[in-house]
Amino acid sequence: MKQSILIAFLFFSQQSHAQFADTALVKQHLLHIIGKTGYRNHANLTALNNTADYIFSTFKKYADTVYIQEFTVNKKVYKNIICSFGKAKTKRIIVGAHYDVCEQQQGADDNASGVAGLLELARLLQNKKLNNRIDLVAYSLEEPPYFRTKSMGSYVHAKSLKNEKANVLGMISLEMIGYFSDASNSQTYPEGIGEPFGNKGDFIALVTKEKPTHFEADFTDRFQASKAIKTAPFAAPTSLEGIDFSDHLNYWLFHFAAIMITDTSFLRNPNYHKSTDTLATLDLARLAKVIDGVAYALAGM
């Protein structure tokens, strides 16, 4: 394990500055997603399709394999956008983020931040020699009214992996990764667990089940070894509120290992599911550092 982390460090440190997340590109993605597409909710197919088109065209810049997974809900066609890196027949790692929003809001943190992370990861993964196949997946229909239903894009994708008996190492969900605060009492926690990481919202959380799988523990170790950003590994029972509030829940449902990377959503961000969830509230420098941590971890897996 220590040797493989060292290899990842050497790989990552020897790259040019261009191989680290670029805040200007991240901002460009965010502006396009939240500023030019309208409200990306389940009822607005035009906005969703415009966003899907942008994700597809961006993926095509960096990946040889890009495709659309269509699924129908209430006679409307929705799209997961997928690109792949690495050899097709190796073990597979999924990195996913949803691009839809709840009702009428820009959804800058929830979850344009995660999608911008996917798009920048695609650039960082281009032409890299990888030990395993990495699939980046942008999902539709994570938000209400379809949350926790079989209509979620991530349910459709996870089920397809199960049906094809894909050799999946694990899944990583990028769920709200752009809101940070150094103010005291800016971070809250589910009732009954105290303040294990302090009362400032200055960290990124890596959320796993109470007993992490080898994949979840390995990814967490590698992410922390990057030293890209202050990190809080949090293993907890799924009964704890918020632990499964994203697309990773569907991979758990099909017995795949999965981890959620998050700024802790409503436990920190006062703009959660509100019209105030705008680009101006995001910390782009730390968002980029989260992406760096993910890229570093993936480089050695």
| pLDDT tens figures, 277-291 | 999 999 999 999 999
The string of pLDDT tens digits covering residues 128-176 is: 999 999 999 999 999 999 999 999 999 999 999 999 999 999 999 999 9
Average pLDDT of 124-129?
A: 94
> Is 66 or 7 the better-scoring residue by pLDDT?
66
Tell me phi and psi for residue 118, to 5 degrees: -60, -45
- The range of the structural domain enclosing residue 121 comes to 2-299
Q: Tokens 């939240």 — which residue?
A: 34
Q: Is the pLDDT of residue 15 over 60?
A: no
Q: What angle do CA 61, 107, 51 make, to 5 degrees?
A: 35
Pure H helices in 126-172: 153-163
The string of pLDDT tens digits covering residues 36-76 is: 678 999 999 999 999 999 999 999 999 989 999 999 999 99
Q: Considering the chain, what is the average pLDDT of its residues?
A: 93
3-class secondary-structure state, position 174: strand
DSSP state at residue 37: S
Q: How many CA atoms lie within 13 A of 223 on its CB side?
A: 25
Q: Is the pLDDT of residue 16 over 60?
A: no
Structural domain total, the chain: 1
Starting at the earlier edge strand, list the strands of the sheet with 65-73: 65-73, 76-85, 133-139, 92-98, 168-175, 258-262, 204-209, 231-236
Q: What is the amino acid identity at position 12?
A: F
DSSP state at residue 280: G
CB burial of residue 159 (10 Å; 0-12, 13-18, 19+) = middle
Q: What is the CA 105 to chain-centroid distance, rounded?
A: 19
Find the CATH number of the domain harbouring 271.
Answer: 3.40.630.10
The pLDDT assigned to 10 comes to 46
Q: Pairing relation of β-strands 204-209 and 133-139?
A: unpaired
Task: Compute how many other C-beta atoms are within 10 angstroms of the C-beta atom of residue 162.
Answer: 15
User: How far apart, in whole angstroms, are the C-alpha atoms of residue 9 and residue 5?
Assistant: 6
Average pLDDT of 9-14?
A: 46
User: How far apart, in whole angstroms, are the C-alpha atoms of residue 290 and residue 284?
Assistant: 10
User: How far apart, in whole angstroms, are the C-alpha atoms of residue 262 and residue 256?
Assistant: 19
Task: Compute how many other C-beta atoms are within 10 angstroms of the C-beta atom of residue 72.
Answer: 10
The pLDDT assigned to 38 comes to 84
User: How far apart, in whole angstroms, are the C-alpha atoms of residue 65 and residue 92?
Assistant: 14
Pure H helices in the chain: 2-13, 23-35, 45-62, 113-125, 153-163, 214-225, 248-253, 284-299
Q: Pairing relation of β-strands 76-85 and 92-98?
A: unpaired
- The size of the chain, in residues, is 301
DSSP state letters, 210-235? SS--HHHHHHHHHHHHTTSS-EEEEE
User: Which residue in 196, 219, 151 sits closest to 8, CA to CA?
Assistant: 219
Handedness of CA 141, 80, 226, 292 (dihedral sign): negative
User: How far apart, in whole angstroms, are the C-alpha atoms of residue 81 and residue 168?
Assistant: 18
User: Which residue in 200, 138, 173, 197 sits closest to 261, CA to CA?
Assistant: 173
User: How far apart, in whole angstroms, are the C-alpha atoms of residue 160 and residue 295?
Assistant: 25
